[in-house]
Amino acid sequence: MKAIMRRILALAGILFACVAALPIAAQDISDTSIPLDESQLFGGDKDIVQVIDTDVASKSVIELVADTKTYPVFLVEGSGSVGMEGSIYPLGAGAGENTFVDGSVKLNNFLLTFLPNAATTFGLSASGILQSAGDQELAAGLTTDVRASEFSRFYASGIFKYKYNAGTDATSSAFALDEIFLDTAIDRKVFFRMGKQRISWGVGTWYQPADVLSLAAIDLDDPTAAREGPFAFKIDIPFGLNHATTYVTPPTTEGDIHVALAQRVDLVVGGFELSLGGFARSDMAAKPRLMFMFTGTLGNFDLYGENVAAWGSDRTYVRVKSGGSYETYTIDNLLVFQSTVGAKYSWSNSEGLSLSAHLQGYYNGTGYADSTILLDSGAKAALNTSPSYTASDSKEAGMFYLAGNGSLSLDFGADETSSTITLGGSARYNFSDNSLSATPSLGLDLGSSRDFSLTLSAATSLGEVGSEYAKDGNKVTPKIAVKALKDLTASVSVPILMGADYAPDKVDVDFSLLWNVLSFD
């Protein structure tokens, strides 16, 4: 807590230094009869999402209405299920991998929201799995959102995680502070956020080279998931349809006196939003860089892109010396480029047929043309003994990437018999180590209320053991999942680990049968 208070006080000191340098030419929005887009000013739905009814929100047109709630208000969402889970190892079972069947209790995204008044919200969330003789996992979160006025706000959220590993009889627990910040504004012209906050800087989906502020890497299996952000002071100035945004991050460790500055200007030009940005850190621990981003629509395509030019690379590299040994090195005082572009397409007709596709390519000038060097034990040893090496130096280490997903679906039947069949899939490929991750799927939903659904999938990874998208080497996991009567779900998956010749080395059979006994909508 003392460390948090020191950071908040440091940010407050930076506030006064930055206000003096603010440009004067901001939009005159002092007319309070004109509503402001707070998502643009303080962050949108990727930062904080407050759901009233997820079913209505996803299927209906939402209209703004007067607040007629009688306070205090309690809102409850989530579900709980009971059943059994187990595994069978018909081939290649390792030490401690024995056939088992456990009783299981699951808590699925349980959320209790308390609104004592229209300006204050408290939230308590919980999820977890308890097995009769197996692993135990529990996550509990707490959020606080208090508004003193239209643009004065305090927000905080944190999460506690507990895990018990039955195989090793070990427990672990940790608390993480997700966000804690203050919002305020001056005369509806200049807007501030101060504290630990999530920052959505890039515009890409699977790859965001321009996002220099987030502290966590993108989860490629869930690229839209929220990521940890830094302690920072944010200044936002809207002018017309445009925005000028500045972030200042203070020292975050004892004895550190260095700060980082990021500036971005978003300009609406025709049907596109163009963003120009820059980043610098006083000690050059992170190299300075310039950025250009764009989003827009061209015909039936939604387009986006990011381009980055950095003076050097933040990565510590490894290479082979004469004689076959390895040495580490860095790239300094040299322009390094990164670029990504993506396109989304969707189409549907009146017969119930719809198509969607999304593709993103990425050139990573900070990566290796041949990143298989990182699989060599000698190269790993050289990196691990380098004082400048960090774990991120071995992540996203390729130079050329491609990722995408797509689906083709058909709605058929009418009224109570209306149903949907969907063929889909996702994939990503690293050209620098020839590793692939792909998941084709086929889904069938029957009935207007989707009382029955069937999903077939096959998560597949191909590549050398330890490669970026095939950590376990060649592996395929066929899976069938069935949901019936809304409350009963069953699944069977068969992970098959293969050798270089694609012959099976290990086969598991994992199964579960769960009954949803508690549900709040």
When pLDDT is cut at 50, 70 and 90, the band that residue 158 belongs to is: very high
* CA–CA dist 359, 428 (Å, integer): 10
CB 57 within 8 A of CB 51: yes
Is residue 5 in some structural domain?
no
* CA–CA dist 208, 303 (Å, integer): 14
pLDDT at position 9, please? 43
Average pLDDT on 363-390 reads 95
Is residue 368 in some structural domain?
yes
**Final residue in a domain of this structure, among 261, 276, 310:** 310
pLDDT at position 433, please? 96
Q: Does residue 145 surpass a pLDDT of 80?
A: yes
Same domain, 334 and 465: yes
Q: Give the chain's mean pLDDT.
A: 87
Q: How many domains does the chain have?
A: 3
Q: Does residue 34 surpass a pLDDT of 90?
A: no
In Å, what is the CA distance from 423 to each residue of 400, 404, 408, 453?
Answer: 28, 15, 5, 14
Q: pLDDT: is 468 or 37 the higher one?
A: 468
Average pLDDT on 55-77 reads 65
Same domain, 353 and 227: no
Low-confidence winner among 64-78, 227-241, 271-285, 314-328 (lowest mean pLDDT): 64-78
pLDDT at position 31, please? 45
Q: To 5 degrees, how large is the angle CA 330–CA 332–CA 282?
A: 110
Is residue 14 in some structural domain?
no
Same domain, 252 and 332: no
Average pLDDT on 142-168 reads 92
Q: To 5 degrees, how large is the angle CA 146–CA 128–CA 145?
A: 5
pLDDT at position 66, please? 61
Same domain, 417 and 319: yes
* CA–CA dist 462, 472 (Å, integer): 9
What's the pLDDT tens digit per position in 283-340? 888 999 999 999 999 999 999 999 999 999 999 999 999 888 999 999 999 999 999 9
CB 262 within 8 A of CB 246: yes
Is residue 402 in some structural domain?
yes
Low-confidence winner among 4-18, 103-117, 267-281 (lowest mean pLDDT): 4-18
Which H or E element spans position 38?
helix 38-42
Q: Does residue 414 surpass a pLDDT of 50?
A: yes
What residues make up the domain containing 411? 312-473
Global pTM reads: 0.83
Beta strands in 92-151 (DSSP E): 100-117, 120-131, 136-149
**Final residue in a domain of this structure, among 275, 310, 345:** 310
What's the pLDDT tens digit per position in 447-500? 877 789 999 999 999 999 999 999 999 999 999 999 998 789 999 999 999 999
Which H or E element spans position 56?
helix 54-59
Write the CB contacts of 213 (distance below 8 Å, at least 6 apart in sequence): 199, 201, 229, 230, 232, 247, 249, 262, 279
Is residue 44 in some structural domain?
no
Average pLDDT on 406-429 reads 92
Q: Does residue 61 surpass a pLDDT of 60?
A: no
Same domain, 304 and 202: yes
Same domain, 218 and 113: no
CB 119 within 8 A of CB 109: no
CA gyration radius, the chain: 26
> How many Cα atoms are found within 13 Å in the side-chain-facing hemisphere of 115?
14
Nearest to 103 by CA among 133, 147, 73, 69: 133
Same domain, 350 and 467: yes
Long-range contacts of residues 323-328, Cβ cutoff 8 Å, at least 24 apart: 325/378, 325/382, 326/376, 326/378, 326/379, 326/381, 326/382, 327/382, 328/382, 328/383, 328/386, 328/388, 328/389
Nearest to 389 by CA among 323, 467, 454, 328: 328
When pLDDT is cut at 50, 70 and 90, the band that residue 251 belongs to is: confident
Low-confidence winner among 24-28, 331-335, 417-421 (lowest mean pLDDT): 24-28
Same domain, 229 and 322: no
Q: Does residue 274 surpass a pLDDT of 80?
A: yes
Same domain, 462 and 323: yes
What's the pLDDT tens digit per position in 118-133? 999 999 999 999 888 7
**Final residue in a domain of this structure, among 277, 310, 343:** 310
pLDDT at position 67, please? 62
Same domain, 386 and 515: no
Residues in the chain, overall count: 521
Same domain, 451 and 332: yes
* CA–CA dist 163, 179 (Å, integer): 23
Specify the residue for token string 């395929």.
Answer: 476
3-state DSSP call for residue 283? coil
Most confident residue range from 12-16, 27-31, 328-332, 414-418: 328-332
Same domain, 228 and 352: no
pLDDT at position 92, please? 86
Is residue 3 in some structural domain?
no
Is residue 24 in some structural domain?
no
How many other C-beta atoms are found inside a 10 Å radius of the C-beta of residue 321? 9
